[in-house]
Amino acid sequence: MHEIAKMMKPPSYLFTLLAFILFASIFYGHDFSFIFRPHSNHETQTLFSSPEGNMYKRETKREEEEGCDVFNGRWVRDELTRPLYEEAECPYIQPQLTCQEHGRPEKEYQRWRWQPHGCDLPIFNASLMLEKLRGKRMMFIGDSLNRGQYVSLVCLLHQLIPEHAKSMESFDSLTVFTAKEYNATIEFYWAPFLLESNSDNAVIHRVSDRIVKKGSINTHGRHWKGADIVVFNTYLWWITGSKMKILYVSLLYFIQPIIYFLPHSFLCQCHCKTLAKVLQFFRHGSFDDEVKEIIEMSTEEAYRMALKSMLRWVRLNMDSNKTRVFFTSMSPSHAKYKLWGTILLMYIYGRSIEWGGEPGGNCYNETTPIDDSAYWGSDCKQSIMQVIGEVFRKSEVPITFLNITQLSNYRKDAHTSIYKKQWNSLTREQLANPVSYADCVHWCLPGLPDTWNELLFAKFLYS
């Protein structure tokens, strides 16, 4: 009996290994609970229904205010106070967003101001904003739409800073604007999924098969530590037209020394199913692996996973008493899309029929906002807004939701369209049909992203 009991006693190595795994999962903020769960087919779960067009009005409890809902309103023409700056006065705007420089014949898109119902937005005060940023590090994290908002904020502030006291530098995925006299930085970090992905190269990221690594937010998050104000966004890159491919994360780098010293007899004779599953898991997790363990998730489930990882990172790395965290909702497009292989491309026909335009059009040649207050573009997935509401409501992490989706939905006129730097030569067919290459995703500057920053300013200073 003594011999049997001795054989059944778990080896001390097992406790050492499992203890290290637990420590690493807590220290690095990864979610490894899925290791101990059986595989599922990850089909889309049933989401509670809501009236079409009203989902955008749902706010989490921490966002509900006794006063005015600044995200609910209308666009009014304003030639006195718009634009807030001139395109030529801001040298930081990328050539993809300089619509006047690239031949846009009118400036109507610059002359609209967002007017909430029942109240007014506070006037953007660049001097006050800079004072609030004194000694602080502000960071925008996400995709090119968040980069557009980042550049907009720099344009709104930089004229108050002497030329010798400001600079803009780029380091791979990170761009840093420094206001030296204020000891402040405003930064942008390219992470279109927030999690690690095979689209993380800040310059070359048009890959044919998008894959996101589960539990990998610290790959990027280590660069965010120390930020005082963070503005997250992520949406566009999740919309692939099919299920998302999720790569299992690996901790082999961290546990390899322990595995190396485990006796061969222990590894061969151990019948612990959990340990075997863990060890198998550790052998995968790199985008460069010839054999990858990849699962498919619905867009909604994958997006939920990313939001939960983001909130977990904030909880573990930011002091809610000293910092502010914002999350910007989806930015709409005004064009149809199709899937070519696994690359999402703008299609030749548009969505203009949705707002009462001629069939086959998109944002090209549009010069006025949509005046139908109930308009909600078909590209803005209600199910994603629902996921945001569900995840944020259940979280105890203090986060301010910037609900820019509905107000941006009206602005079919504000896209860069064809008035931007074209990185590839246009074909004769494209030149003959501008609708076919109009960019109806990104926004001219000055323009709509300035309003997003007015809303950010209001929430940052007065909420």
Catalytic annotation, residues: 144, 439, 442
349 neighbors 254 (Cβ within 8 angstroms): no
d(C-alpha 391, C-alpha 138), whole Å: 24
End-to-end Cα, the chain, rounded Å: 69
Q: Looking at beta carbons, which pairs linking 64-69 to residues 24 or more positions away fall under 8 Å? A: 65/463, 67/119, 68/116, 68/117, 68/118, 68/119, 69/116, 69/117
d(C-alpha 379, C-alpha 347), whole Å: 13
153 neighbors 452 (Cβ within 8 angstroms): no
218 neighbors 28 (Cβ within 8 angstroms): yes
DSSP single-letter state for residue 142: E
Q: Looking at beta carbons, which pairs linking 203-209 to residues 24 or more positions away fall under 8 Å? A: 206/343, 208/341, 208/342, 208/343, 209/245, 209/341, 209/342
CB atoms within 10 A of CB 133: 21
DSSP single-letter state for residue 332: P
Q: Which residues pair with 283 in a beta bridge?
A: none
Q: Which residue, among 316, 337, 288, has the nearest Cα to 396 in the 3D structure?
A: 316
The answer for residues whose C-beta is within 8 angstroms of residue 69's C-beta and 6 or more apart is 57, 59, 116, 117
